[in-house]
């Protein structure tokens, strides 16, 4: 159904005119027409509503109802929304799921002006650049995607001069720029949220076990920033490679296992040296104790997920980091049902969106397509629903209005329905993943809950805030 894949460097060098011809030769447009059959199950329990401005929830009509175009805008020309995803190659499964999620949102919007243009990036920045040129020639008003940071950066470089905004699905803040927004869940925000909650519960001595590489460096920096202006301390921090067989030593070092074991042995030798029946009994008790003296910290951050986390989790109690005495903290990577059965994680905390609405969406998707989508699928739904909302809203007469942000927002010369200030309302928008807003630097700010791991599911222990403060538009350094 989609555009033909570029299989070689010679294919990548073909003329853009030829590439565009191939794109439009096949039926790439998915029209949100009221007369077509909807590929969604509306009885699944989802509200189907797209993002809404938080301060005006009662004024938002049901987006499934037909849009009265004459009341919304005199411009009834098609609005082309390019959706750039890896629809083939190693990331094809995720890309196809995001395409389906965006399609659900498109039909929920029920606006016949909206035309979805899927484009295959193959998770290759070179191909993504070619697709960006095709976006321009197709007359697209906005781009959703790509998925990977390198592709977002490549596409953004091509589209920035044209005024076509990009909403990428990456969580790498380094590729965000004005007009090049990223929609992914930022680990920096998740770390701050869960650490702030831990501090509020009286925890003050922290440790961390972070992965090597760029992601780990981001975690390490945000962890330090979250504790910088507090009285809390970081007593231990260790890094580990992405190799399940190489995790033992870093956990052992974090726990100071050998040092603590030596301390026990020294204490036993001392007690026995006293040659007293009472101290001999104490020495036996200490020697046979299953749990050594506690570690230096009362909370430890472990921002890992998937199979590697399932390997890491049991190593913590193995090296006597007792989960009953040390609170385990995580990031949104823990938002995975596969971790619910891990005994060391029971009662642990991590930051993520409130799980009710995403779970409802996942169920709806599964009932529609027959399989469970990846967690990232909600990003595509919310991005598409936001675009549909902005397309419905009347355009303010003053094109230079900054939405009340009080700053100098650069307005590109693209489709005024998607002028940058319209994405950056102070109040934010509500989507499947809760309240969010874009910042001037292109990053996303989210209202996150703190969840606790239990065998039968994740429980909210600190609900997500229902509104943003009027400040907080911090720019990227």
Reported as a pLDDT band with limits 50, 70 and 90, residue 424 is confident
- Tell me what pLDDT residue 263 has: 59
Q: Under CATH, what is the fold of the domain 187-256+295-352?
A: Rossmann fold (3.40.50)
Q: Taking residues 295-322, what's their average pLDDT? A: 93
- Tell me what pLDDT residue 456 has: 93
Q: Kindly report, residue by residue over 62-100, the tens digit of the pLDDT.
A: 333 333 333 444 467 899 999 999 999 999 999 999 999
Q: Kindly report, residue by residue over 256-266, the tens digit of the pLDDT.
A: 888 777 555 55
Strands 233-240 and 434-438: unpaired
For the record, the structure tokens of 378 come out as: 């909600």
Q: Taking residues 407-428, what's their average pLDDT? A: 72
Question: So where are the chain's domains?
Answer: 9-185+356-445, 187-256+295-352
Q: In the sheet where 434-438 sits, what is the strand order?
A: 52-53, 429-431, 434-438, 444-446
Facing residues of 435 across strands?
Answer: 430
Residue 86 near residue 146 (C-beta atoms within 8 A):
yes
Average pLDDT of the chain?
A: 79
- Per residue, the 3-state secondary structure of 138-194, as one string, reads HCCCEEECCCCHHHHHHHHHHHHHHCCCEEECCCCHHHCECCEEECCCCHHHHHHHH
Sole residue written with tokens 């040659």: 275
For the record, the structure tokens of 26 come out as: 């096949």
E-only strand ranges, 312-456: 327-330, 349-352, 429-431, 434-438, 444-446, 449-454
Is pLDDT above 90 for 54? no
Phi, psi (5° rounding) for residue 217?
-65, -40
CATH topology match: 9-185+356-445 vs 187-256+295-352: yes
Q: Taking residues 91-112, what's their average pLDDT? A: 95
Residues 6+ apart with CB under 8 A from 130: 6, 12, 16, 19
Q: Kindly report, residue by residue over 178-228, the tens digit of the pLDDT.
A: 999 999 999 999 999 999 999 999 999 999 999 999 999 999 999 999 999
Phi, psi (5° rounding) for residue 71?
-90, -25
CATH class of this structure's domain 9-185+356-445: alpha beta
- Tell me what pLDDT residue 17 has: 36
Q: Taking residues 378-383, what's their average pLDDT? A: 98
Residue 385 near residue 51 (C-beta atoms within 8 A):
yes
């Amino acid at each position: 159904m989609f555009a033909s894949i570029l299989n070689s460097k010679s294919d990548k060098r073909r003329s853009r005119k030829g590439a565009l011809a191939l794109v439009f030769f096949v039926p790439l447009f998915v029209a949100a027409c009221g007369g077509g059959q909807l590929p969604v199950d509306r009885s699944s329990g989802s509200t189907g509503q797209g993002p809404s401005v938080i301060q005006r929830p009662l004024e938002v009509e049901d987006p499934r109802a037909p849009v009265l175009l004459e009341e919304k805008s005199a411009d009834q020309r098609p609005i082309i929304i390019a959706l750039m995803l890896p629809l083939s190659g190693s990331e094809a499964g995720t890309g196809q799921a995001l395409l389906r999620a965006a399609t659900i949102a498109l039909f929920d919007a029920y606006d016949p002006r909206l035309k979805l243009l899927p484009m295959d990036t193959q998770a290759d920045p070179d191909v993504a650049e070619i697709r960006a040129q095709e976006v321009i020639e197709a007359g697209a008003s906005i781009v959703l995607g790509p998925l990977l940071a390198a592709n977002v950066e490549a596409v953004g470089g091509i589209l920035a001069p044209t005024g076509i905004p990009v909403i990428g699905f990456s969580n790498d803040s380094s590729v965000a720029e004005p007009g090049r927004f990223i929609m992914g869940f930022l680990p920096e925000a998740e770390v701050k949220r869960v650490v702030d909650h831990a501090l509020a519960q009286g925890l003050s001595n922290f440790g961390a076990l972070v992965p090597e590489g760029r992601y780990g460096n981001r975690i390490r920096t945000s962890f330090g920033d979250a504790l910088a202006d507090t009285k809390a301390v970081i007593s231990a921090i260790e890094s580990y490679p992405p190799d399940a067989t190489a995790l033992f030593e870093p956990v052992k070092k974090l726990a100071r296992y050998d040092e603590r074991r030596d301390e026990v042995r020294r204490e036993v030798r001392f007690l026995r040296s006293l040659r007293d029946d009472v101290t001999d009994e104490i020495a036996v008790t200490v020697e046979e104790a299953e749990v050594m003296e506690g570690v230096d910290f009362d909370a430890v951050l472990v921002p890992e997920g998937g199979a590697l986390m399932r390997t890491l989790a049991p190593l913590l109690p193995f090296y006597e980091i007792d989960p009953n005495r040390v609170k385990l903290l995580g990031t949104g990577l823990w938002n995975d049902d596969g971790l619910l059965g891990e005994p060391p994680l029971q009662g642990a905390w991590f930051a993520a969106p409130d799980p009710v609405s995403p779970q409802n969406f996942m169920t709806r998707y599964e009932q529609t397509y027959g399989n469970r989508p990846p967690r990232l699928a909600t990003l595509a739904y919310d991005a598409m629903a936001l675009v549909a909302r902005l397309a419905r809203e009347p355009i303010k007469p003053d094109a230079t209005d900054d939405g009340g942000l009080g700053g100098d927002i650069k307005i590109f010369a693209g489709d005024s329905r998607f002028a940058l200030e319209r994405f950056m309302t102070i109040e934010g928008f509500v989507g499947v993943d809760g309240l969010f807003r874009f910042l001037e630097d292109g990053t996303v700010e989210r209202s996150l809950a703190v969840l606790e791991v239990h065998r039968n599911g994740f429980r909210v222990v600190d609900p997500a805030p229902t509104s943003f403060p009027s400040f907080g538009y911090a720019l990227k350094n």
